[in-house]
Amino acid sequence: MRLDMRALLAQAKAQAKRSGKTRYGPTDRIVTLNMGLGRDSVAMLCLLAEGKLVAQGRKLSPSDIDAVVFSDTGAEWLHTHGIVPKVAALCRRLGVPFYMLSKPSDAACALYLDEAADLRTEARSEGIKAKLGSIRHWRKKTGKSIEQKARIGWYHLLPPIRDDYYSRATIASRAKADCTENHKVAAIRKLIDDLSRARFGVGNRGWSALVEAGEALPHLSLVGIAADEPSRVVHMHPLDPPATRTPPTPRKGQPLIPRFTSVHRPWKYPKGRKNSRTWSERPGGWPGPWYVTEAYPLVELGVAKDDEQAILDRHGFGGTYKSGCWLCPHQPVGWFWVLREAAKGNKQAKKHADPRWWGSVVEYERAALEANPNMKVIGSYPSIPIAVERWRAKNPRATIEEVMQKDYARGGSGECTTGECDHLDAAIAASRIKTRRR
Ligand code: SF4
């Protein structure tokens, strides 16, 4: 659908005027630190506390950050939730708001899933998307503060990730990466909309118009991607400083110094061409939203995975585990074994996983396989239980702690991540971009 750009821009300017802002400098943007509660994003927070964090060539202090935000997929490991109080305490000390975007209540999700199932059978061909919006009852509560909205699940469009996919007899797939988009990125961007309205009187749509007209910079999300994972970096926004569009090659032991200078160079449409909203007419076919872009401070600083331990240790986060969903198709097979051990009552495993999750993930895959025999969670293995059985036979001595310390697969078998959750197969970065719509 083509939007009336001029009307949108005029509306945004009027809104901005009402809020007392008519011109925007390079620091007039919402900056969020996307906190997956894993090692990369916690390392970013530690560097912020030390005054060493850099994004797009600019040193950031805590007062530059509008929010540290964690979007809960509803299937996070226990150790991930375990560090929330420590992260919240550090944010408090730094004076930066920490928002945990929880999923809606069980009752609200059950009602949604029930009504969605009816809709799917009744209205398959009649634009089900719009209809699903009308049954998100938890989003109808208005007049709440950001904190209250974060608590009641207002920022999420979908129930917990496992229930979402299970209800559709499908799985979070390696090939699509829509799980991160729907359960992490979308919620964070709704929060950015609220933060932008509160600070500038203009929401995401209006901010897009201002950015596209070259009158404001896109908001900035800081994403925790280590310097030795350049395949996870996606610099696509036309207003990203040119020097940051290609990630530098990391060098071990690199000093923490900024290497980029930020230049605001608004992209202009060729002379004589009208502004257009069609994606194909944008530079490089870039289809993302105008209102926000991403920066990768660890990449800019040359902080590789091995460098993170020292940074985490300095702030008492040395024992931080990798974060992610316990049903993630990218995680090592051993992590599924930990789920099985927790179900058997293994005390060590129960520190990481709820005993009910093993049955839950097995059933989730079973339902998907019944609908489509190709919906295997773990690569070529016929099912999770078989994969775990074979893995254990090959690794009879592995302990829970050894397994949980293990990083995700790198390279060919699926390096994952968008940074928000630490996972995205490098090969699907392109599909991630395709799903970004205003
Ligand atoms: S952790 Fe895995 S399953 Fe969860 S959102 Fe990220 S890629 Fe998807």
pLDDT digits (tens, 9 = 90+) for 393-402: 999 999 999 9
Kindly state if the Cβ of 71 falls inside 6 Å of ligand 1: no
Digit-coded pLDDT (tens) for 277-330: 433 344 444 556 889 988 999 988 999 999 999 999 999 999 999 999 999 998
Task: Give the residue with greater pLDDT, 197 vs 272.
Answer: 197
Task: Give the residue with greater pLDDT, 181 vs 252.
Answer: 181
Q: Which amino acid is at 11?
A: Q
Alpha carbon distance 137, 150 (integer Å): 15
Query: Cα 246 from chain centroid?
Result: 21
Kindly state if the Cβ of 42 falls inside 6 Å of ligand 1: no
pLDDT at position 175, please? 64
Shortest-distance Cα residue to atom 2 of ligand 1: 328
pLDDT at position 6, please? 72
Q: How confident is the model at residue 135 (pLDDT cuts 50, 70, 90)?
A: confident
Assess whether pLDDT exceeds 70 at residue 272.
Answer: no
**Burial letters for 21-31: b for 16+ Cβ neighbours within 10 Å, e otherwise?**
beebeeeebbb
Torsion sign across C-alpha atoms 377, 109, 358, 318: positive
Ligand 1 atom at shortest distance from the alpha carbon of 424 = 7
Assess whether pLDDT exceeds 50 at residue 91.
Answer: yes
Would you list the DSSP string of 362-375?
HHHHHHHHHH-TT-
Q: How confident is the model at residue 216 (pLDDT cuts 50, 70, 90)?
A: confident
Angle (nearest 5°) at CA 224 between 201 and 99: 45
Enter the pTM of the model: 0.84
Question: What residue spans define the domains of the chain?
Answer: 5-103+156-306, 332-407
Assess whether pLDDT exceeds 50 at residue 413.
Answer: no
Kindly state if the Cβ of 73 falls inside 6 Å of ligand 1: yes
Q: Which of 11-15, 50-54, 153-157, 217-221 has the lowest mean pLDDT?
A: 11-15
Shortest-distance Cα residue to atom 1 of ligand 1: 324
In the three-class reduction of DSSP (H, G, I as helix; E, B as strand; rest coil), residue 32 is classed as strand
CB of 299 closer than 8 Å to CB of 240:
no
Q: Which of 15-24, 74-83, 418-427 has the lowest mean pLDDT?
A: 418-427
Shortest-distance Cα residue to atom 8 of ligand 1: 179
Task: Give the residue with greater pLDDT, 201 vs 354.
Answer: 354
Q: What is the mean pLDDT of the chain?
A: 81
Under the phi-then-psi rule, with left for phi > 0, alpha for psi from -120 to 50, and beta for the rest, what region is 286?
A: beta
Alpha carbon distance 386, 160 (integer Å): 26
Angle (nearest 5°) at CA 394 between 375 and 383: 15
Mean pLDDT of all residues in 105-119: 91
Task: Give the residue with greater pLDDT, 146 vs 425.
Answer: 146
pLDDT at position 24, please? 79
Neighbours of 249 (CB within 10 A): 9
Assess whether pLDDT exceeds 90 at residue 67.
Answer: yes
Q: How confident is the model at residue 235 (pLDDT cuts 50, 70, 90)?
A: low
Ligand 1 atom at shortest distance from the alpha carbon of 330 = 2
pLDDT at position 237, please? 72
Assess whether pLDDT exceeds 60 at residue 37.
Answer: yes
Residue 5 burial (C-beta neighbours within 10 Å; 0-12, 13-18, 19+): middle
Assess whether pLDDT exceeds 90 at residue 341.
Answer: yes
Ligand 1 atom at shortest distance from the alpha carbon of 327 = 3
Task: Give the residue with greater pLDDT, 321 vs 427.
Answer: 321
- Test site for ligand 1: of 70, 180, 339, most ligand atoms within 8 A of the Cβ: 180
Q: What is the DSSP letter of 329?
A: T
Q: How confident is the model at residue 147 (pLDDT cuts 50, 70, 90)?
A: very high
Alpha carbon distance 369, 364 (integer Å): 9
